[in-house]
């Protein structure tokens, strides 16, 4: 007893401990896969910083495949975002948009965070470059909303500036508050490098507002602040801010102020060889001198601008052609390498396919052989079992038929009728009937044990049976049994198939009120088939009588024996018979299966 209790205790501990171990193992595996995804993304980020885009793309795609396979949704969102950033930097905006939207759909299922805001900002850039400005503004607003929730002022300052830059082209009154909030955050965070850009953006809001009148004085004030901020914090942007300030001074007719700042840009650009900025400065100086009325200088600077622009476009065209030639050559080499690789892979695939086909043929042959053996064994067992069941069922049906024919009522009535003959002092008749009854009983008992009996023995049994039935119904009917020139000794049939319908014919004839009451039994051959017919003069079938006869216990047994386990439709037929146009009775018939010597 103690040993059983100890075993039960150990089993309980195992049942409680094993699921916890499995869960811990699953969590450990998940953490391991998440670490792998993080490592792949970090490697991709390193190559992205170095602008080695193919290597970065490879690692990002590996991280995506791992995250999809292991169902790491958050890591998948991060990996999709990284690849979207890569494609946005390489100007593949359509692909970047698809990846970014998939990343957003995943990340929106989790609490909002910096990564979701960055996804929105990347989609904003891609949509803007793709010309879908309204959708870009929507993503910019979403980024601002998320960053307000997570209270990330650093990203919020940048997102507000970008959102304001988008809205400035559509709704300046909405853009100005965004710029001012971004400016306040930049000062708070001491991001002085962004202050000059924000001041310049505010200057554009007032110098060229959407759907309103320009306020050039306010615009000049913001452009001057932008220049002052650039001079103090962002030397790289000083030149462009001088241009902005010079242009607004030109618009406000402060030509000397404009000339001073733009000339500084012109001189520094000429010294550094920055032809793009030099061209811009030359054009702005042509506008300044044109406003001052010095058209000769204005013309000179305009011609210089045009020459620089022409040179710029020529250089750009040449660069484009060189790039196209280089790309064509590179693409041709890449295509050739790709074709060679595909050929090698195709050859390898063909070899593997051929090897696979041979293996499949062998295994299919083995499986087919095993299947055939199995089917053969199963069919043998099935038919053996079926034959045993049919044999058992046949014996059961014969016993049931014996019980229906040798019912206590039939035996008692027969003996009572013989006793009555003895009392009536008719010993010869009583002896004759007693002999027939004894012989009938012996025949029924003997025939119930065999599968087949000779047709002539069946006819003798039927004759004795009808004779005994005459005794039970004195003077009620006559009968005939006709074998229609059949060799009854050479034909064997299942025993006692006919008795249920003969019994029904006797009962109908005995109950009939007509004068000539008879029962006629006939065996005949039709087209090589043995047919049994029994007719009586008991009048036409009453409504529902046909169904009652067919559903009676003894007739139902006969139908089952004729079917022999196979689907058999309506083997017993019942029809009214007529004489001189008047229905006189009913005939029942069916085909009897038989064998010959």
Question: Which residues of 348-452 form beta strands (DSSP E)?
Answer: none
Nearest to 124 by CA among 166, 185, 182: 166
pTM for the predicted model, two decimal places: 0.48
The percentage of the chain sitting over the pLDDT mark of 90, rounded to a whole number, equals: 12
Whole-angstrom distance, CA of residue 557 vs CA of residue 551: 9
CA quadruple 147, 149, 150, 153: dihedral, nearest 10: 50
Query: Taking all residues of the chain, what is their mean pLDDT, rounded to a whole number?
Result: 82
Q: Looking at the DSSP assignment, which residues form a beta bridge with residue 575?
A: 587
- What average pLDDT score do residues 40-64 get? 91
Q: Is 431 helix (H, G, I), strand (E, B) or coil?
A: helix
**Position 406 pLDDT exceeds 50:** no
Comparing 395-399, 442-446, 554-558, the range with the smallest average pLDDT is 395-399
Q: How many CA atoms lie within 13 A of 413 on its CB side?
A: 13
**For residue 328, what pLDDT is reported?**
57
Comparing 124-128, 176-180, 339-343, the range with the smallest average pLDDT is 339-343
**For residue 541, what pLDDT is reported?**
85
Q: Is residue 265 classed exposed, middle or buried when 0-12, 13-18 and 19+ CB atoms within 10 A define those classes?
A: buried
Name the residue with higher pLDDT: 191 or 287.
287
Q: Which residue has the tokens 């009583």?
A: 430
Comparing 67-81, 249-263, 323-337, 474-488, the range with the smallest average pLDDT is 323-337
In degrees and rounded to multiples of 5, residue 483 shows phi and psi of -105, 0
- Residue 89 Cα distances to 126, 135, 184, 377, angstroms: 9, 19, 29, 70
Whole-angstrom distance, CA of residue 439 vs CA of residue 444: 9
Whole-angstrom distance, CA of residue 480 vs CA of residue 534: 10
Nearest to 461 by CA among 494, 421, 486, 484: 494
The two structure tokens encoding residue 419: 């006793």
- What average pLDDT score do residues 40-55 get? 90
Query: Taking CA 20 as the corner, what is the angle to CA 16 and CA 22, rounded to the nearest 5 degrees?
Result: 120
Contacts of 330 (CB under 8 A, 6+ apart): none
- What average pLDDT score do residues 423-448 get? 75
Q: How confident is the model at residue 555 (pLDDT cuts 50, 70, 90)?
A: confident
Whole-angstrom distance, CA of residue 362 vs CA of residue 375: 20
Task: Answer whether 516's CB lies under 8 Å from 571's CB.
Answer: no
Whole-angstrom distance, CA of residue 184 vs CA of residue 542: 109
**For residue 349, what pLDDT is reported?**
81
Q: How confident is the model at residue 402 (pLDDT cuts 50, 70, 90)?
A: very low
Task: Answer whether 494's CB lies under 8 Å from 593's CB.
Answer: yes
- What average pLDDT score do residues 257-275 get? 89
């Amino acid at each position: 007893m103690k040993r059983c209790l100890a075993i039960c205790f150990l089993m309980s501990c195992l049942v409680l401990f094993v699921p916890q171990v499995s869960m811990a193992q699953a969590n450990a595996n998940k953490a391991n896969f998440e670490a792998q995804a993080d490592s792949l993304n970090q490697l991709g980020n390193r190559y992205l910083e170095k602008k080695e885009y193919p290597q970065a793309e490879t690692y990002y795609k590996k991280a995506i495949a791992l995250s999809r396979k292991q169902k790491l949704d958050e890591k998948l969102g991060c990996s999709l975002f990284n690849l979207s950033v890569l494609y946005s930097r390489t100007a593949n905006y359509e692909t970047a948009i698809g990846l970014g939207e998939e990343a957003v759909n995943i990340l929106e299922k989790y609490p909002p965070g910096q990564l979701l805001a960055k996804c929105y900002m990347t989609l904003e850039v891609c949509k803007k470059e793709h010309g879908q400005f309204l959708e870009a503004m929507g993503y910019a607003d979403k980024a601002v909303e998320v960053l307000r929730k997570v209270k990330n002022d650093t990203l919020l300052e940048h997102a507000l500036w970008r959102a304001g830059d988008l809205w400035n082209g559509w709704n300046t009154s909405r853009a100005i508050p965004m710029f001012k909030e971004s400016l306040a955050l930049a000062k708070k965070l001491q991001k002085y490098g962004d202050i000059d850009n924000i001041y310049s953006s505010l200057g554009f809001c007032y110098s060229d507002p959407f759907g309103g009148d320009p306020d050039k004085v306010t615009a000049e004030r913001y452009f001057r602040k932008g220049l002052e901020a650039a001079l103090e914090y962002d030397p790289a942007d000083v030149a462009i801010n001088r241009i902005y300030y010079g242009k607004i001074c030109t618009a406000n007719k402060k030509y000397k102020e404009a000339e001073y700042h733009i000339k500084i840009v012109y001189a520094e650009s000429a010294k550094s060889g920055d032809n793009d900025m030099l061209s811009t400065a030359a054009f702005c100086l042509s506008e300044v001198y044109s406003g001052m009325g010095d058209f000769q200088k204005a013309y000179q600077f305009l011609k210089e601008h045009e020459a620089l622009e022409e040179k710029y476009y020529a250089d750009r065209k040449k660069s484009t052609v060189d790039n196209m030639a280089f790309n064509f050559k590179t693409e041709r080499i890449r295509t050739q390498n790709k074709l060679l690789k595909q050929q090698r892979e195709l050859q390898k695939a063909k070899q593997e396919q051929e090897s696979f086909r041979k293996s499949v043929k062998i295994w299919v042959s083995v499986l087919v052989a095993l299947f055939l053996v199995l089917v053969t064994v199963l069919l043998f067992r099935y038919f053996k079992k079926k034959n045993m069941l049919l044999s058992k069922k046949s014996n059961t049906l014969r016993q049931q038929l014996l019980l229906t024919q040798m019912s206590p009522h039939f035996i008692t009535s027969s003996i009572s009728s013989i006793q009555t003959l003895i009392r009536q002092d008719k010993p010869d008749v009583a002896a004759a009937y007693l002999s027939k009854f004894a012989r009938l009983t012996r025949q029924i008992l003997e025939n119930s044990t065999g599968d087949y009996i000779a047709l002539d023995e069946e006819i003798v049994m039927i004759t004795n049976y009808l004779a005994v039935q005459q005794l039970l119904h004195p003077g009620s009917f006559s009968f005939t049994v006709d074998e229609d020139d059949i060799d009854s000794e050479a034909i064997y049939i299942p025993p006692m198939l006919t008795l249920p319908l003969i019994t029904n014919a006797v009962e109908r004839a005995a109950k009939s009120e007509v004068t000539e009451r008879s029962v006629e039994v006939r065996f005949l051959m039709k087209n090589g088939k043995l047919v049994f017919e029994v007719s009586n003069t008991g009048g036409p079938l009453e409504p529902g009588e046909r169904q009652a006869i067919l559903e009676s216990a003894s007739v139902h047994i006969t139908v089952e024996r004729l079917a022999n386990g196979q689907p058999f439709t309506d083997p017993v037929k019942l029809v009214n018979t007529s004489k001189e146009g008047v229905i006189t009775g009913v005939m029942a018939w069916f085909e009897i299966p038989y064998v010959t010597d």
